[in-house]
């Protein structure tokens, strides 16, 4: 059973994949929080933060 109907990125490169992962991890963390699945919340939030951190340095390098 899939929670989302849209497909993951295929040709958008690493930044698009990271954005997709961050968005979906955030959605899953909200779902886990509603059901008091605290360990999953923590793990999913860590995955979201990791994906966001990997996007930000590339954006900073491009703008300098």
Q: What is the pLDDT of residue 11?
A: 73
Q: What is the pLDDT of residue 12?
A: 85
Q: pLDDT (tens digit, 9 = 90+) per residue, 6-60?
A: 666 677 899 999 999 999 999 999 999 999 999 999 999 999 999 999 987 754 6
Q: Looking at residue 7, what is its pLDDT?
A: 64
CA distances for 14 relative to 21, 36, 56, angstroms: 10, 32, 12
Query: What is the predicted pLDDT for the residue at 1?
Result: 47
Q: Kindly report the pTM of this predicted structure.
A: 0.72
In angstroms, the CA 51 to CA 58 distance is 12
């Amino acid at each position: 059973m899939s929670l989302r109907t849209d497909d993951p990125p295929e040709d958008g490169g690493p930044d698009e994949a990271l954005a997709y992962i961050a968005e979906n991890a955030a959605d899953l963390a909200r779902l886990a929080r509603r059901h008091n699945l605290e360990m999953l919340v923590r793990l999913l939030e860590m995955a979201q933060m990791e994906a966001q951190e990997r996007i930000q340095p590339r954006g900073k390098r491009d703008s300098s």
